């Protein structure tokens, strides 16, 4: 549906602090109604969110979908986001590989996995701490 009330309702729920579920519905709404620029921007923000409850694999999915939406957008600024999004996917891929290599035998390693399974860390930090 292209009803303006859907977007209005979702943004109201998000600003009221009802969060993640409504953010996911909003980017899907943007995508379904052809607002690929808005969908790509929101997906990118979701991937960059500092919320520890968003897993690394979910962030990876957000970024992958953001690339698809950005490529479908007609706005040149959104199309320009594609390379930045691809770079973030590469860093997320490296972080996933590191996370998958960590042995879960000790509590400190479990904390490390928890850290790696959250926000995408800067590549510099990943290389400095884990290379």
- Domain span at 27: 4-130
Segment 23-65, tens digit of pLDDT: 999 999 999 999 999 999 999 999 999 888 899 999 999 999 9
Segment 111-127, tens digit of pLDDT: 888 889 999 999 999 98
Residue 50 · residue 20 · CB < 8 Å: no
Exposed (0-12), middle (13-18) or buried (19+): which is 122, by Cβ within 10 Å?
exposed
Residue 47 · residue 121 · CB < 8 Å: no
Q: What are phi and psi of 102, to 5 degrees?
A: -75, 130
DSSP H or E stretch at residue 38: helix 36-48
Which one has a higher pLDDT value, 97 or 52? 97
CA distances from 122 to 61, 87, 90 (A): 18, 11, 11
Domains of the chain: total: 1
């Amino acid at each position: 549906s292209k009803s303006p009330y859907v977007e209005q309702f979702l943004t109201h729920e998000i600003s009221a602090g009802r969060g993640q579920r409504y953010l996911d519905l909003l980017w899907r709404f943007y995508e379904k109604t052809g607002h690929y620029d808005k969908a790509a921007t929101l997906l990118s923000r979701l991937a960059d969110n500092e919320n520890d409850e968003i897993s690394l694999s979910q962030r990876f999915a957000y970024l992958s979908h953001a690339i698809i939406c950005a490529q479908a957008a007609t706005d040149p600024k959104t199309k320009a986001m594609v390379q930045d999004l691809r770079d973030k996917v590469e860093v997320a891929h490296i972080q996933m590989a590191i996370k998958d290599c960590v042995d879960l035998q000790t509590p400190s390693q479990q904390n490390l996995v928890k850290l790696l399974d959250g926000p995408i860390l800067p590549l510099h930090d990943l290389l400095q701490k884990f290379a």
